């Protein structure tokens, strides 16, 4: 395996250059290697191949903040903004809400690298910066905080790795919107790893917005740690990109935690969107709720894998999971797999997944009222998406994303 | 208005309609009765344009047009309306919302002006009274969590909004208690004019106490085997369908 060897060499070279704290991840990465084609967690998503390909071609991109403009929906919205440009947190332009701390993140994410996704390890070794956000106890940030991850690949193939941290003090509240923003047509590979810690009764609403770029390969990983009474809400929306892998791992490490994971993905020709989630109930009396919906069109591919663990002590857990897919063509595919492992005996858990075409009965019903077939289809698909988009709280984001979906649905032949 | 000539239709290769002949004029109400499996709902579906049914022979002339050539939405735009036997639930789509789009697509087809929001709403208010349906129900997801009666009243409400020339009520009485039945029948009667026609498909005579038909046809094994006035419905109620089946046997 020539490619792997060269990666090995590249990683090994870094040994002398990176801080001590990252050596564990480096050793572990050298030990396990990036996931091969038959790796259980990556059998549908050959991200390794594309990483190696792009990494070999990536040039040094100069950082030119003057070259990008905000995506329009952010320009108009009343928010705080932080920029990360080609892997570097831009502290100068950062609009930091009063009362909270935002610093450049240089703390590696992994205390113990064992058992982690190899791309997490890769990120831990290679990440260049990111933001480190601390919200003090009992503090509520009123306006959403937008983190714009700018990948400028206009002048060359690009590779970048960032890592963000958020620490929520007791009873603190924050809404963050993470936006992937790509400039230029070259290929790129970028990874983004986020570590969130929620102390008692903290509330974090996070939106992961992947609606920009083509020709980009993206690895995204969230590790969320919840203490008692905390509430974590995430909404992941994926419309653009060539191949994306999202790992969302939430640990409910105390009682009365609440976790809501919502996802919507829409893969068109040549797009590949993979969502892996893990919800780990470790203590009693917590709730988790998960709903991911996808539309696959043309040769679009979707992957969903949802793990729920209910540990022996986690009695009285409520855990729900659902993944629903609509396939709009014969060539579109989805691989969906719920994986529940339950050791406690007094719990309520359910899961379900569906993959099918648009309901012909529903189509006929609408047509029999005078709606054209195209309208009827768009109606049903928008309705399918609205179960998710209706839950988006910031109005500007909800309107923007609903419009984008609508646009993508009506962009060409259905 | 509608002339069906020697209509044959099959689903998944199985012939269900085996030569239907029927003529309906404006201002008339026709009841189609018959035992289960006789092809009543198939006839309703074929007329409304459901695609799983293949018409293998025969003609349907609707106001000078070949109805079978028209797509389901164009039939609706030409004034055909089907009240579903099992109105389906569509999460995320409200009656108000899709009906507004439907009406405007119909108007566009007919070369008419779009309906403005105020006119739409006032028409809605008027028609809601007709079937005693509440506005909150109409802004909810279509039929989701509706009772059987609410679903059927919603069908008639949509019929009232779309003002069809030819309304086909497919077993609209099934699953209704007597109060709901009266409301639905009352709605249908009030919508009746000298210019439109109604086909009432039903298994039981019960509905015909409230929607009085001009003609009653008995469908059996894919053919209309007997036609008459409303007295025929009463006879069927009293004697069941067996004597019809016997008669058919004798003539074969």
Q: What percent of chain A is modeled with pLDDT above 90?
A: 82
Task: List alpha helices for A280-394, DSSP H.
Answer: 360-367, 373-389
Query: Does residue A2 register a pLDDT over 80?
Result: no
A371 touches chain B (CB under 8 A): yes
Question: What pLDDT does residue A4 have?
Answer: 52
Instruction: Name which of A40-54, A398-412, B41-55, B105-119 the model is least confident about.
Output: A398-412
Please report the ipTM that was assigned to this predicted complex: 0.96
Query: Does residue A365 register a pLDDT over 50?
Result: yes
A373 touches chain B (CB under 8 A): yes
What residues of chain A lie within 8 A of the CB of B48, using their CB? 368
On whether both A235 and A372 belong to a single domain, the answer is: no
Question: What pLDDT does residue A163 have?
Answer: 97
Which DSSP helix (H) or strand (E) runs through A140?
Answer: none
Half-sphere exposure of B45 (CA within 13 A, CB side): 20
pLDDT higher at A87 or A109: A87
Average pLDDT over residues A63-87: 82
pLDDT tens-digit map of B89-109: 998 899 999 999 999 999 999
What residues of chain A lie within 8 A of the CB of B99, using their CB? 369
Q: Contact A368/B49, CB-based, under 8 Å? A: yes
Domain annotation covers residue A290? no
Nearest Cα neighbor of A384 from A294, A291, A322 is: A294
Domain span including residue A189 = 7-254
A386 touches chain B (CB under 8 A): yes
B47: closest CA of chain A, how far (Å):
11
Closest by Cβ to A371, choosing from B49, B73, B92: B73
Are B90 and B176 within 8 A, CB to CB?
no
Question: What pLDDT does residue A8 have?
Answer: 82
Query: Does residue A1 register a pLDDT over 70?
Result: no
Which of A227, A254, A281 corresponds to the end of one domain?
A: A254
Distance (Å, whole) CA A315 – CA A260: 19
Nearest Cα neighbor of A347 from A322, A309, A314, A321 is: A314
Q: Contact B73/A384, CB-based, under 8 Å? A: no
Which of A254, A269, A286 corresponds to the end of one domain?
A: A254
Q: Contact A370/B105, CB-based, under 8 Å? A: yes
Q: Contact B99/A382, CB-based, under 8 Å? A: no
What residues of chain A lie within 8 A of the CB of B141, using their CB? 383
For residue A412, name the pLDDT band (cuts at 50, 70, 90).
low
A363: closest CA of chain B, how far (Å):
10
On whether both A250 and A373 belong to a single domain, the answer is: no
Domain annotation covers residue A307? no
Domain annotation covers residue A35? yes
Question: What pLDDT does residue B33 have?
Answer: 94
B71 touches chain A (CB under 8 A): yes
Contacts of B3 (CB under 8 A, 6+ apart): B22, B23, B24, B59, B60, B61, B62
Which DSSP helix (H) or strand (E) runs through B62?
Answer: strand B53-62
Residue B164's closest chain A neighbor by CA? A369
Query: Does residue A110 register a pLDDT over 80?
Result: no
Which of A235, A254, A273 corresponds to the end of one domain?
A: A254
Residue B106's closest chain A neighbor by CA? A370
Mutation site for B-interface testing, chosen from A324, A368, A379, A386 by largest number of B Cβ within 10 Å: A368
B48 touches chain A (CB under 8 A): yes
pLDDT tens-digit map of A158-214: 999 999 999 999 999 999 999 999 999 999 999 999 999 999 999 999 999 999 998
B101 touches chain A (CB under 8 A): yes
Q: What percent of chain A is modeled with pLDDT above 70?
A: 96
Contacts of B103 (CB under 8 A, 6+ apart): A370, B115, B120, B161, B162
On whether both A51 and A183 belong to a single domain, the answer is: yes
Distance (Å, whole) CA A288 – CA A262: 11
Domain annotation covers residue A292? no
B95 touches chain A (CB under 8 A): no
Which DSSP helix (H) or strand (E) runs through B11?
Answer: strand B2-11
Question: What pLDDT does residue A108 have?
Answer: 79
Distance (Å, whole) CA B123 – CA B132: 14
Which DSSP helix (H) or strand (E) runs through A321?
Answer: strand A318-327
Q: Between residues 164 and 193 of chain B, which touch chain A (CB distance below 8 Å)? A: none
Distance (Å, whole) CA B127 – CA A388: 33
Question: What pLDDT does residue A112 have?
Answer: 83
Average pLDDT over residues A361-375: 95
What residues of chain B lie within 8 A of the CB of A380, using their CB? 90, 93
Distance (Å, whole) CA A249 – CA A288: 12
On whether both A250 and A392 belong to a single domain, the answer is: no
Distance (Å, whole) CA A195 – CA A223: 5
A383 touches chain B (CB under 8 A): yes
Q: Between residues 344 and 363 of chain A, which touch chain B (CB distance below 8 Å)? A: 359-362
A-B CB pairs within 8 A amount to 72
Contacts of A331 (CB under 8 A, 6+ apart): A298, A299
Inter-CA distances, B2 with A311, B140, B165, B228, Å: 68, 35, 10, 18
Distance (Å, whole) CA B55 – CA B180: 35
How buried is residue B106: exposed, middle or buried, by Cβ count under 10 Å (0-12/13-18/19+)?
buried
Which portions of chain B are predicted below pLDDT 50? none
Which DSSP helix (H) or strand (E) runs through A48?
Answer: helix A47-57
**Which residue reads 């002006």 in tokens?**
B113
Question: What pLDDT does residue A69 have?
Answer: 74
pLDDT tens-digit map of A206-243: 999 999 998 999 999 999 999 999 999 999 999 999 99
Question: What pLDDT does residue A3 have?
Answer: 46
Domain annotation covers residue A165? yes
Q: Quote the number of domains for chain A.
A: 2
Mutation site for B-interface testing, chosen from A370, A377, A386, A405 by largest number of B Cβ within 10 Å: A370
């Amino acid at each position: 395996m020539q490619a792997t060897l060269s990666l090995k060499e590249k990683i090994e070279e870094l040994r002398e250059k990176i801080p001590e704290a990252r050596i564990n991840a480096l050793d572990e990465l050298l030990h396990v290697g990036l996931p091969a084609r038959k790796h259980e967690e990556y059998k549908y998503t050959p991200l390794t191949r594309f990483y190696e390909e792009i990494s070999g071609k990536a040039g040094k991109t100069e950082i030119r903040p003057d070259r990008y403009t905000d995506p329009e929906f952010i320009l108009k919205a009343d928010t705080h903004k932080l920029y990360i440009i080609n892997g570097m947190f831009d502290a100068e332009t950062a609009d930091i809400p009063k009362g909270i701390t935002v610093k450049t993140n240089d703390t590696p994410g992994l205390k113990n690298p064992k058992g982690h996704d190899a791309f997490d390890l890769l990120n831990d070794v290679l990440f260049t910066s990111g933001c480190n956000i601390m919200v003090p106890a009992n503090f509520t940030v009123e306006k959403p905080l937008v983190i714009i991850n700018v990948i400028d690949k206009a002048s060359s193939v690009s590779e970048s790795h960032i890592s963000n941290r958020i620490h929520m003090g007791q009873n603190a509240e924050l809404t963050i919107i993470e936006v992937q923003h790509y400039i230029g047509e070259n290929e790129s590979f970028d990874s983004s790893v986020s570590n969130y810690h929620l102390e008692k009764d903290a509330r974090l609403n996070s939106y992961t917005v992947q609606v920009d770029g083509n020709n980009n390969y993206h690895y995204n990983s969230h590790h969320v740690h919840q203490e008692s009474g905390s509430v974590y809400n995430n909404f992941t929306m994926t419309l653009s990109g060539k191949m994306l892998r999202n790992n969302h791992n939430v640990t409910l490490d105390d009682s009365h935690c609440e976790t809501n994971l919502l996802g919507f993905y829409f893969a068109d020709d040549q797009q590949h969107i993979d969502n892996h989630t893990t919800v780990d109930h470790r203590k009693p009396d917590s709730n988790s709720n998960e709903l991911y919906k996808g539309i696959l069109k043309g040769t679009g591919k979707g992957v969903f894998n949802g793990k729920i663990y209910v540990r022996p002590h986690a009695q009285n857990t409520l855990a729900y999971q659902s993944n629903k897919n609509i396939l709009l063509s014969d060539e579109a595919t989805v691989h969906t797999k719920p994986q529940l492992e339950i050791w406690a005996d007094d719990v309520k858990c359910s899961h379900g997944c569906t993959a099918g075409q648009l309901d012909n009965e529903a189509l006929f019903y609408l047509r029999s009222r005078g709606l054209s077939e195209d309208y009827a289809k768009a109606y049903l698909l928008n309705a399918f998406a609205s179960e998710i988009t209706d839950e988006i709280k910031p109005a500007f984001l909800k309107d923007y994303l609903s419009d984008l979906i609508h646009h993508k649905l009506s962009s060409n032949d259905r | 208005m509608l002339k069906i000539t020697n209509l044959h239709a099959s689903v998944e290769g199985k012939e269900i309609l085996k030569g239907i002949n029927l003529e309906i004029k404006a201002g008339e109400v026709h009841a189609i009765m018959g035992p289960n499996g006789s092809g009543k709902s198939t006839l309703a579906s074929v007329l409304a344009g459901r695609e799983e049914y293949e018409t293998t022979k025969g003609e349907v002339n609707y106001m000078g047009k070949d109805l079978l050539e028209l797509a389901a939405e164009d039939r609706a735009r030409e004034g055909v309306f089907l009240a579903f036997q099992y109105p389906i639930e569509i999460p995320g789509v409200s009656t108000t919302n899709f009906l507004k789009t439907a009406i405007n697509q119909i108007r566009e087809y007919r070369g008419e002006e779009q309906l403005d929001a105020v006119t739409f709403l006032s028409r809605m208010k008027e028609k809601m009274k007709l079937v005693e349906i509440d506005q909150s129900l109409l802004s909810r997801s279509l039929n989701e969590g509706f009772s059987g009666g609410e679903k059927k009243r919603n069908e008639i409400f949509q019929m009232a909004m779309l003002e069809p020339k030819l309304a086909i009520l497919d077993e609209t009485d099934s699953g209704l208690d007597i109060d709901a039945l009266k409301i639905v029948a009352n709605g249908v009667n009030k919508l009746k004019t000298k210019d439109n026609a109604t086909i009432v498909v039903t298994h039981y005579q019960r509905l015909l106490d409230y929607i009085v038909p001009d003609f009653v046809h008995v469908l059996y094994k894919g053919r209309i085997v007997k036609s008459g006035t409303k007295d025929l419905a009463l006879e069927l109620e009293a004697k069941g369908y067996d004597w019809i089946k016997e008669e058919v046997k004798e003539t074969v």
